[in-house]
Amino acid sequence: MSPDFAQLFEYFLIFIVLLFITGLYCVLVSLSLIRILIGIEILIKASTLLIILAGYICGRTALAQSIVITLIVIEIVFMVVAGGVVLWAFRHTKTIDPRKLSDLKG
Amino acid sequence: MPSALILAPFLSLIILNLPPKKIMRKIVFGWVALLLVLQIFLVVAVPVTLWGSAPDFLASFFAFELSVDALSRLLLLSIGIVVLASLTVAQYVIKDQTQRFNFTNLILIVLIGMNATVIVTDLFSLYLFIEITSLSSFILISIQKDNPAIEAAFKYLMLSAIATVFILSSMAIFLLLSGSTSFAAVSGTFKNPANATLVQIAAGLFLCALFIKAGIFPFHGWLPDAHSSCPTPVSVLLSGIVVKASGIYVLTRLAISVFIFGPAVQNVLMFIGASSIVFGATACLTQSNFKRLLAYSTVSQLGYMVLALGCFTPLALAAAVFHLFNHAIFKSLLFVNAGAIEKQAGTINMDKVGGLAAKMPFTGTTSVIACLSAAGIPPLAGFWSKLIIILALWDAGHTIYAGIALVSSILTLAYLLAIQRKVFFGKLEQTLTQIKEAPLAIVLPEVLLATITIAIGLDFPFVFNNWILPLKEIVH
Amino acid sequence: MTLDFILLSCLLLAAIWTVMTIRLIRSIVGLAITSMILSVIMYRLDSPLAAVFELSVCAGLISVVFIITVSFTERVSKEQLPVRRKERFARFWFLPFILVAAALLLSQYLNIPKIELPLPVYGQNVRNVLWNLRHLDLFGQVIVLLAGAFGVAVLFKESKK
C-alpha cells in the first residue's frame, strides 16, 4: 500500500472509530426509543463509510458501491419496521421511555 | 435446481397476494403446506450429487451462485419440517383470518430467507438473507398486538442491529484484503501470512455477530423474552430453526469452508459453549413460566453445538450438525405442547397447572418423548447426538469439557422431568376439570414430530450412513 | 487531503450535534445533515452512484420515516423542557471528552501493519456489476421490500377494538 494511501487510511479509520463510539453512546444512554434508532443509524453510516473506504483502497469501487446500494435498501426497511414497533409500543404503553418497557423479568 | 428453492416461495408469495381475495385466503394454507412437503420430499429423495448437476434452465436468466451440499441438505430438511409444524399450529392458535394470512405470508418470507442462507456462496448475500430472516422475525413477534411482546421485540431489534454493524465491519475488512466477498476469496485471505492480524480481527468481529444472532451465553439477552412472549407458532419458528439457521449453521459453514481457526479461537469457542450450557441449565431451574424455561433450554442446547464446533474434529462437527437437527425436532415439539397447554388451560405458569396427563393424552405422551430426547435417553434421537458429542470431546482429549457436557445432560434430565411431573402428572387443579385434548391441528404435528424423533433414534445406523458420514466428507 | 480532513471533521461534528441536541426534530435534521456530508465524502472516494443513493434515500426518505413516527408519539410539553435539558446534559456531557481522549489514543497507538492488497481491477462499471454479477442481491432487495410492505401492513394498523 503506497504511503499516502496508508496515511489516508489511518485518518479515515480514526474518524470512523470515533463515529462508532458516538453511535454506541447514543444507543446506550438515550431515554427515547426513537433516539436509540438514530444511534443505530449513525452506526450503520459508519459501517457504510468503512465499506466505501475499503473499496476505494483496493480498487474495487464497483463492488463496494453495489454492496452499499443494497445495504441502504435494507436500512430503510429496517427503520420502517423499527418505527412500526416503536409506534406499537407507544400505543400500548403510552410512553417511549426505554426504562419503562420492562414488564418482563426473570 | 437450487434456485427453485428460493424462486418457488417467491412466486407463491406474489400469486397468493393477487386479487381474488376470498379464494386466495382459503387456499393459502394448502398451497404453502404443499410447497413445504415438496421441499422435504425433494431434499430426501434427490441425492447430493444430482443437486448441482441437474439442468438449471433458470440459470440462463439469473446468475445465482448457489450450491447444495450435505450440510445444506440436512438444514433444508429441518427447515421444511419446522416451518410445516409452525404453519399447522398457527391454524389453531391464531384465530383471526387476516392475521393468519399475514402470518402465512411472513412465513413464506422467512422460508425464502432461510433457504437462501443455507445455499449461498457469498458473504454479502449471506448477510442479506440473514437480515431478511431477522426482519420478518421482528414482524412475526409483533403480530398479535394484544400480547405484550414489546420489550422482547425492541431488545431483539437493538441486538440484531449491533450484530449487523459487526458483520458489515468484518465484511469491509475482508473486502479490503481480498477484493471480493465470495467464500473462495475470503478463505484465500487466511492463507496469506502478511495480513494475519487484520484477518483475525475481522474473523473475531464476525464471530461476535454470530454469537448475538444465535443467542449464546454472553449475548443471549434477547432470547428468553422473545421466545416466551410471542405467540406459539412464532416461538416454534424462532427457537426451532431461525436461531439455528442464521447462527449455528453460518458458524459451521464458516468454520468448515471459509475461516481457518487456530487453537486459540477453538478454545474460546469451547469455553463459550460450555458456559452457555451451564448457564442455560441453571437458569432453567428457577423458572415457573413454561415457555421461558424452554427458551433457556434452547440457550443450553445451542451451547452443546458450539462446544462441539470448537472441538473441530470431523466427528465433532458432524455431531454438532446432527444435534442441530435433533434439537429442531424436539424443541419444536416441546413448544407445540406448550402452545396446546396455553390454549386449553389459559395459562403457561407451571405452578398453576397440574395433572393434565389424563385429560390430554396425546400432548402428555409426546411431551414425555420430547423431554427424554432432549435429555439424551436411549433409544431416542437426542441420545445418539449427545453421545457422539461427548465421545468426540473425549477422543480429542478435552476430558473436562466432556465431563461438563455429561453433568449438564443429567441436569437437563432433572429439570425436564421436574416440569413433566408438575404439569402433566400430579393433582388436577380445580379450575381445570373441564379441560379437553387439543384439536387435530395441534395433535397432528405433535404426533408427527414425536414419530420422527423415535424413528431416528431407532433407525440410527441408516441415518448415520446416509446423512452423517457425508458431513464428515465435506470437512476434508 | 486537507479537504477530506475538513469533511470528516464536519461529519463528526454533525453526528455529535445529532446525538446531543435536545429536541427530537433537530436530531432528525442533524441525521439528514450527517447523511449529506457522508454523501460528499463518498463522492470524493470515487463512488458517485452510492453517494447519490445515500443522499436521496438516507437524507430524504429515512428522515420522512422518522418524522412520521415522531408525529404519532407525544410531544414534550413546555414545562418539562428545562427539566429534560438538565437531565440530558448530565448524561451527555462527557461524550466530547471521550471522543477527544479516544482520538488522542488512536493517533498515538494506531499502527496499520503493512497490508498486502489484491491486484487492482480497472474499468469496472457499477451498473455492470450490479445487474450482471449480483443477481442474488437484487432478488434479496425485492424480498426485503416485500417484507417491509408486510411490516407496514401488520404494524401500522390500529388494532380494532
**Per-residue pLDDT tens over the stretch B270-329:** 899 999 998 888 888 887 788 888 888 889 889 989 998 888 888 888 888 888 988 888
Taking contacts as CB-CB distances below 8 angstroms, the residues of chain B near A43 are 161-162, 165
Which pLDDT score, from 0 to 100, does residue B397 have?
80
For range B8-14, the mean pLDDT? 88
pLDDT score of B408 more than 80? yes
CB pairs under 8 A between A and C: 206
- Are residues B157 and A82, on separate chains, in Cβ contact within 8 Å? yes
Top mean-pLDDT range of B411-420, B460-469, C105-114? B411-420
Cβ pair B453, B381 in contact under 8 A: yes
Q: How confident is the model at residue B255 (pLDDT cuts 50, 70, 90)?
A: confident
Class for the domain spanning A3-95? mainly alpha
Top mean-pLDDT range of B67-76, B397-406, C34-43, C82-91? C34-43
Higher per-residue confidence, B306 vs B382:
B306
pLDDT score of A72 more than 90? yes
Q: How confident is the model at residue B69 (pLDDT cuts 50, 70, 90)?
A: confident
Taking contacts as CB-CB distances below 8 angstroms, the residues of chain A near B163 are none
Higher per-residue confidence, B458 vs A79:
A79
Q: Which of C129, C136, C157 to mutate to test the interface with A (most CBs of A within 10 A)?
A: C129
Domain boundaries, chain B: 267-476
Which pLDDT score, from 0 to 100, does residue B289 have?
81
Chains touching chain B, criterion 3+ CB pairs below 8 Å: A, C
Percentage with pLDDT > 90 across chain B: 12
Higher per-residue confidence, B398 vs C44:
C44
Domain boundaries, chain A: 3-95
What ipTM goes with this model? 0.93
Predicted TM-score (pTM) of the model is: 0.92
Which pLDDT score, from 0 to 100, does residue C33 have?
95
Which pLDDT score, from 0 to 100, does residue A75 have?
94
Tell me which residue in C135, C140, C155 faces B62 most closely, judged by beta carbons.
C135
Cβ pair A105, B225 in contact under 8 A: no
- Are residues A72 and C145, on separate chains, in Cβ contact within 8 Å? no
pLDDT score of B146 more than 70? no
- Are residues C126 and A65, on separate chains, in Cβ contact within 8 Å? yes
In whole numbers, what is the pLDDT of chain B averaged over residues? 83
d(CA B381, CA B80): 19
For range C26-42, the mean pLDDT? 94
Top mean-pLDDT range of B81-90, B142-151, B418-427, C81-90? B81-90
- Are residues B142 and C154, on separate chains, in Cβ contact within 8 Å? yes
Q: Is C115 on the interface with A (CB under 8 A)?
A: yes
Which pLDDT score, from 0 to 100, does residue A103 have?
53
In whole numbers, what is the pLDDT of chain A averaged over residues? 84
Burial of B127 (0-12, 13-18, 19+ CB in 10 A): buried
The SS3 of residue C125 is coil
Among the residue ranges B268-272, B457-461, C77-81, the one predicted with the least confidence is C77-81
Which pLDDT score, from 0 to 100, does residue B384 have?
83
Residue of C nearest to A47 (CA): C38
pLDDT score of B424 more than 80? no
Which pLDDT score, from 0 to 100, does residue B37 have?
86
Q: Is A38 on the interface with B (CB under 8 A)?
A: no
Tell me which residue in A74, A82, A103 faces B128 most closely, judged by beta carbons.
A74
Higher per-residue confidence, B276 vs A2:
B276
Which pLDDT score, from 0 to 100, does residue C161 have?
42
**Exposure string (b/e) for A50-87, b if CB count within 10 Å is 16 or more?**
bbbbbbbbbbbbbbbbbbbbbbbbbbbbbbbbbbbbbb
Which pLDDT score, from 0 to 100, does residue A80 have?
92
Which pLDDT score, from 0 to 100, does residue B57 have?
61
Residue of B nearest to A67 (CA): B124
Which pLDDT score, from 0 to 100, does residue C143 have?
93
- Are residues C114 and B176, on separate chains, in Cβ contact within 8 Å? no
Among the residue ranges B202-206, B402-406, B429-433, the one predicted with the least confidence is B429-433
| Residue pLDDT, tens place only, C91-139 | 777 777 888 888 888 777 766 666 777 776 766 777 777 777 888 889 9
pLDDT score of B389 more than 50? yes
- Are residues A58 and B176, on separate chains, in Cβ contact within 8 Å? yes
Taking the CA of residue A103 and the nearest CA in chain C, the distance in Å comes to 20
- Are residues A83 and C68, on separate chains, in Cβ contact within 8 Å? yes
Cell reading at B44: 430426501
Q: Is A101 on the interface with B (CB under 8 A)?
A: yes
Q: How confident is the model at residue A105 (pLDDT cuts 50, 70, 90)?
A: very low
- Are residues B287 and A106, on separate chains, in Cβ contact within 8 Å? yes
pLDDT score of C78 more than 60? no
Q: How confident is the model at residue B43 (pLDDT cuts 50, 70, 90)?
A: confident
In whole numbers, what is the pLDDT of chain C averaged over residues? 82
- Are residues C116 and B192, on separate chains, in Cβ contact within 8 Å? yes
Higher per-residue confidence, B295 vs B46:
B295
